[in-house]
Amino acid sequence: MKRFAVVGHLAVTSGTFSLNDLPGSGGRMDVLCRSVNSSFFLSHDLRRDVECYLILCGEPGPEKTVLFRGAGVRHLSPDERSSAALIKKALSIPCGDEFRESTPGVYVRRGGLSRLLAEIPFAVLDEAGEDVRAAPDLPENYLLSDHHNFTAEEEASIAGYPRYSVGPRSLHADHTITVLLNEMDRRES
């Protein structure tokens, strides 16, 4: 299983955001929607061996985590509005301490990064990390940030984690996932 977790620093935790204004009313929810797209879509196929965790840290709080599982996800189209609609639905159901399924393959629970870090051994995608092309072996699980850098508190919680880079330019989270999956595809083929 490959896992990507993206921290949405401003991403709202309520399902009341507008599908017509993902950047504004969603707290840059568009970044997370594109990360879902990058995690799963192949041409005329879905990557069933991927999970994508969206860590929503915005208003009104407290933090929630939305999980897309490639193995079971349905009703997901490539456009941003499609994944946004599934996130909106997940944020509209009662949120408990354990993952609860809101639509097929999409889940939501309370808690954010610290909880996820206690469960899954992540590597961090970071421009200063080791080039993924040069790494002898690649981890399965990766943590990324949205358009904001990790906060000081987040950085403290991931100090010492292995760090990888996908190249010489600083890319958006979704583009980083695409490049990384291409490297993994090549190693598996």
Which spans of this chain sit near a copy of itself (rule: CB under 8 A)?
A: 19-20, 22-23, 30-31, 34, 37-38, 41-45, 77-82, 147, 166-172, 175, 178-179, 182, 185-186, 188-189
Whether the ω angle into residue 60 lies within 30 degrees of 0, i.e. cis, is yes
Q: Residue 144's closest CA among 53, 81, 16, 28?
A: 53
Closer by beta carbon to a copy of itself, 59 or else 185: 185
Closer by beta carbon to a copy of itself, 45 or else 119: 45
Closer by beta carbon to a copy of itself, 93 or else 179: 179
SS3 letters across 87-146: HHHHCCCCCCCCCEEEECCEEEEECCHHHHHCCCCCEEEEEEEEECCCCCCCCCEEEEEC
Closer by beta carbon to a copy of itself, 41 or else 99: 41
Q: Are 3 and 142 in contact (CB under 8 A)?
A: yes
H/E stretch holding 31 reads helix 29-40
Place of tokens 């979704």: 174
Query: CB of 109: closest distance to a copy of itself in angstroms?
Result: 27
125 is in an annotated binding site: yes
Query: CB of 119: closest distance to a copy of itself in angstroms?
Result: 28
Q: At what angle do helices 29-40 and 173-188 cross, to 10 degrees?
A: 10
Closer by beta carbon to a copy of itself, 19 or else 120: 19
Query: CB of 86: closest distance to a copy of itself in angstroms?
Result: 15
Place of tokens 């594109």: 34
Q: What angle do CA 145, 151, 157 make, to 5 degrees?
A: 90
| Encoded amino acid at 176, one letter | T
Query: CB of 69: closest distance to a copy of itself in angstroms?
Result: 20
Query: CB of 147: closest distance to a copy of itself in angstroms?
Result: 7
Q: Which segments are annotated as binding site for S-adenosyl-L-methionine?
A: 125
